[in-house]
């Protein structure tokens, strides 16, 4: 139930520019949006690291934020046991 909307909002099936402005801003928090931009740049345009470093940094940063949040939630749930 969650995968299909994430794929549709990531820009993989349609252009992000065709989405409403508020949705475009919300999708910046999706890792899949940055991964799709990275993958399209490398596969279709043959982009190098100097071109896609922004997407890589964003994916790493968002991944770190989500990991730290999930670790905090896990530790909190284990402390209640």
Contacts of 7 (CB under 8 A, 6+ apart): 13, 32
Look at the chain and report how many structural domains it folds into: 1
Structural domain of residue 63, as residue ranges? Answer: 3-79
Residue 6: predicted pLDDT: 85
Rounded Cα–Cα distance for residues 38 and 17 (Å): 16
Query: Both tokens of residue 57?
Result: 């940094």
Residue 81 pLDDT exceeds 80: no
pTM: 0.76
Count Cα neighbours of 80 within 13 Å in the Cβ-side half-sphere.
Answer: 5
Q: What is the pLDDT of residues 44-65, one digit of tens each?
A: 999 999 999 999 999 999 999 9
pLDDT in tens, 8-38: 888 888 888 999 999 999 998 888 999 999 9
């Amino acid at each position: 139930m969650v995968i299909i909307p994430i794929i549709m909002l990531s820009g993989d099936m349609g252009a992000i520019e065709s989405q409403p402005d508020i949705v475009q801003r919300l999708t910046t928090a999706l890792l899949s949006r940055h991964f799709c931009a990275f993958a399209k740049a490398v596969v279709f345009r043959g982009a190098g690291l100097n071109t896609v470093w922004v997407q890589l940094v964003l994916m790493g940063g968002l991944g770190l934020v989500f990991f730290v949040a999930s670790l905090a939630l896990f530790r909190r749930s284990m402390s209640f046991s």
